[in-house]
Amino acid sequence: MISLIGTYDCKVDAKGRLMIPAGMKKQLSPIVEEGFVLRRSVFQECLELYPMGEWQTLMKKMNKLNKFKKKNNDFIRRFSAGARMVEVDATGRVLIPKDLIGFAGISKNIVISPSINIIEIWDKDKYEQAINDATDDFADLAEEVMGQDDDEDGIS
């Protein structure tokens, strides 16, 4: 599993191409040849860029779902909606399909931000709003998610 670091302000050109910043490109260099999957986020109005290895790991989990249960089938269909294989071209750009640009409301100015092993791609204004909206609740959220006293790993 990879662990990506760094939030970057970027621009998307008129054709929907995103230039991967040098700092992120360096972190992705060992896996860039494998390609990526770009999809809609489940919880936010942003896109998620999965390195192919991370996508395959997720698909192994999803493949274990019983497809004869309607709820599972509905989940798989909605989760996969709009997902596309994408590659980084020779100049370090990724083409974002128009329907995904529309879903995320992406304008020219964007933010790419890691979410541990994937990259979120946000319209800059929406990213700033999401961060600002979460500021008040973040201390409570951090305590709830990470503040477990019985954690064997002792994360703190």
Domains and CATH numbers, the chain: 8-146 (3.40.1550.20)
Please report, rounded to a whole number, the percentage of residues in the chain having pLDDT higher than 90: 69
For the segment 127-154, the average pLDDT, to the nearest whole number, is 76
Q: Is 99:82 a contact under the CB 8 Å cutoff?
A: yes
Q: What single string gives the DSSP state of each residue in 72-140? A: HHHHHHHHHTT-EEE---TTSEEEPPHHHHHHHT--SEEEEEEETTEEEEEEHHHHHHHHHHHHTTHHH
What is residue 142's predicted lDDT score, i.e. its pLDDT? 79
pLDDT, tens digit (0-9, with 9 covering 90-100), for 114-128: 999 999 999 999 999
Flag whether pLDDT at 156 surpasses 60. Answer: no
Flag whether pLDDT at 60 surpasses 80. Answer: yes
- What number of other Cβ atoms are within 10 A of residue 96's Cβ? 22
Q: How far is it, in rounded angstroms, from Cα 10 to Cα 127?
A: 12
- What number of other Cβ atoms are within 10 A of residue 41's Cβ? 16
What is residue 133's predicted lDDT score, i.e. its pLDDT? 79
Whole-prediction pTM: 0.86
For the segment 97-106, the average pLDDT, to the nearest whole number, is 96
Rg (CA), the chain: 17
Please, which pLDDT band fits residue 2 given cuts at 50, 70 and 90?
Answer: confident
Q: How far is it, in rounded angstroms, from Cα 113 to Cα 118?
A: 9
pLDDT, tens digit (0-9, with 9 covering 90-100), for 65-89: 999 999 999 999 999 988 999 999 9
The type of residue at 86 is: V
3-state secondary structure of 151: coil
Flag whether pLDDT at 155 surpasses 90. Answer: no
Flag whether pLDDT at 149 surpasses 90. Answer: no
